[in-house]
């Protein structure tokens, strides 16, 4: 098969690494890719938000299967253009991608199908939102109602903090968006990943990530500073509850509305007193959760994604090893605020690349024989082992082998489970 993956981050490097291991994969192209992806796939300079450009490229390169990594091409309707032209695609339609692109849409779906989630309200002006927060009190959660690269959510501990977050959104920090304000949910967060083919659902793993930038879960939220899989808190009983009360009702409601969901549904959950409530949905693999899932799933991922895209999940199962994976994100100093681009990362050539230890690239570029940091989150040092402690040791061994003073990481990834 000729396979095209859209995206250029750590998630897409992990997907490419896993898919390449499957003998069905003859030619693998990733667009735009990065300096690490070139080691496992061809990279193509392509505007992945352009329906016309992606479609033309797929036709010219006789692509058999397209895997869409990030949320932005989904929200732009790239999957619709490809499907309309007869291509096999992994990723939801533009209409179904609203489950991530609009917080209010997801809340309306939850209300319609009875899925447990936080109480909420939507506002189109700052004054009304501020008044609502003042009446409700804190802690409270303020969300930009749109795609904000993982940065549009503020868990405000005071009313003043909530007011600042509201003003930032209406001042256009993430573009023109309304605001969704939600009840604060206490508990422990975890991530659950489910493949959906429009009708049937197949769970493919659990994970927990670390959103705060600093050790001990301190500092501002980020796109994710590390993750591990499986998540011990998501017991089989809890997974059954989530499938029965949240995921399957959502998929049924989407089908009833004429926008069947086909792709991966990433359910962010809050767990308290043995029950789970939905925090939010993403409609693509998480980053860095994808890195730990791919380490554990390996080459079978291609078979699973194909079954999903072809509508035959009902007869598909996941072959799990009794193992653990953990990834540590190396970020540029200053992230998630302002950070400098262009520093040289040394030591990458000393790292092993095996099914037990792999460093996935995110924000990297090759220049003059060097690997240059060009993003905020730059690398994901990932380990796998029979125990989480073993995976942890392998991941941090990669971190410690790098010579990159301009980078930093958290040293406590996996602390809850360890």
Position 352 scores a pLDDT of: 86
pLDDT tens readout for residues 205-263: 999 999 999 999 999 889 899 999 999 999 999 999 999 999 999 999 999 999 999 99
Q: To the nearest 10°, report the CA torsion of 118, 186, 211, 8.
A: -30
Residues 200 and 309 in one domain: yes
Residues 223 and 132 in one domain: no
Residues 158 and 246 in one domain: no
Residues 24 and 137 in one domain: no
Residues near 149 by Cβ (< 8 Å), separated by ≥ 6? Answer: 223
Residues 83 and 163 in one domain: no
Residues 294 and 342 in one domain: no
78 falls within a domain: yes
118 falls within a domain: no
50 falls within a domain: yes
Of the residues 93, 113, 139, which one is the last residue of a structural domain? 93
Position 151 scores a pLDDT of: 66
Residues 262 and 333 in one domain: no
99 falls within a domain: no
User: How many domains does the chain fold into?
Assistant: 4
pLDDT tens readout for residues 376-402: 999 999 999 999 999 999 999 999 999
The 3-state DSSP class for residue 90 equals: strand
396 falls within a domain: yes
Position 410 scores a pLDDT of: 98
pTM, rounded to two decimals = 0.94
β strands within 145-284, DSSP E: 153-156, 179-183, 188-197, 201-209, 212-214, 218-221, 226-229, 262-272, 275-282
CATH number at residue 164: 3.30.1490.20
| DSSP H or E run through 361 | strand 357-361
Position 44 scores a pLDDT of: 98
Position 145 scores a pLDDT of: 86
Residues 47 and 70 in one domain: yes
Residues 333 and 392 in one domain: yes
CATH number at residue 344: 3.90.600.10
Residues near 340 by Cβ (< 8 Å), separated by ≥ 6? Answer: 332, 333, 334, 406
Range of the domain at 161: 125-177
109 falls within a domain: no
Position 51 scores a pLDDT of: 97
**pLDDT < 50 regions, the chain:** none
Position 150 scores a pLDDT of: 61
Distance separating alpha carbons of residues 39 and 301, to the nearest angstrom: 19
**Greatest alpha-carbon span in the chain:** 59
Position 177 scores a pLDDT of: 83
């Amino acid at each position: 098969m000729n396979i095209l993956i859209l995206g250029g981050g750590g998630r897409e490097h992990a997907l490419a690494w896993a898919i390449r291991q499957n003998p069905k994969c003859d030619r693998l192209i990733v667009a735009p890719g990065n300096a690490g992806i070139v080691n496992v796939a061809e990279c193509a300079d392509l505007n992945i938000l352009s329906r016309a450009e992606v479609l033309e490229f797929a036709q010219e390169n006789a692509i058999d299967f397209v895997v869409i990594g990030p949320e932005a091409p989904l929200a732009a309707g790239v999957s619709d253009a490809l499907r309309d032209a007869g291509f096999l695609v992994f990723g939801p339609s533009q209409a179904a991608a609203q489950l991530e692109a609009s917080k209010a849409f997801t809340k309306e779906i939850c209300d319609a199908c009875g899925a447990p989630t936080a109480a909420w309200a939507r506002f189109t002006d700052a004054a009304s939102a501020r008044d609502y927060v003042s009446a409700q009190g804190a802690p409270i959660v303020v969300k930009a109602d749109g795609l904000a690269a993982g940065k549009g959510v503020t868990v405000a501990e005071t009313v003043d903090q909530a007011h600042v977050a509201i003003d930032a959104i209406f001042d256009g920090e993430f573009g023109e968006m309304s605001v969704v304000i939600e009840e604060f949910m206490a508990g422990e967060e975890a991530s659950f990943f489910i493949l959906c083919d429009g009708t049937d659902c197949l769970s493919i793993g659990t994970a927990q990530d670390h959103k705060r930038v600093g050790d001990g879960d301190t500092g501002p939220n980020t796109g994710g500073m590390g993750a591990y899989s499986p998540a011990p808190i998501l017991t089989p009983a809890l997974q059954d509850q989530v499938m029965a009360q949240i995921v399957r009702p959502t998929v049924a409601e989407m089908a009833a509305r004429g926008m069947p969901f086909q792709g991966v549904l990433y359910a962010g959950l809050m767990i308290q007193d043995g029950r789970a409530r939905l925090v939010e949905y993403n409609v693509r693999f998480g980053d860095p959760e994808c890195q730990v899932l791919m380490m554990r799933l390996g080459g079978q991922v291609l078979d699973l994604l194909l079954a999903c895209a072809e509508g035959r999940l009902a007869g598909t199962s996941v072959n799990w090893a009794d193992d653990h994976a953990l990834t540590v994100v190396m970020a540029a100093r200053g992230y998630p605020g302002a950070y400098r681009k262009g520093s040289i990362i040394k030591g990458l050539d000393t790292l092993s690349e095996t099914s037990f230890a792999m460093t996935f690239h995110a924000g990297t570029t090759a220049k003059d024989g060097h690997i240059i940091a060009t993003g905020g989150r730059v690398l994901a040092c990932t380990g796998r082992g029979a125990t989480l402690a073993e995976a942890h040791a392998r991941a941090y061994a990669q971190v410690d082998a790098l010579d990159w003073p301009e980078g930093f990481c958290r040293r406590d990834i996996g602390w809850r489970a360890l």
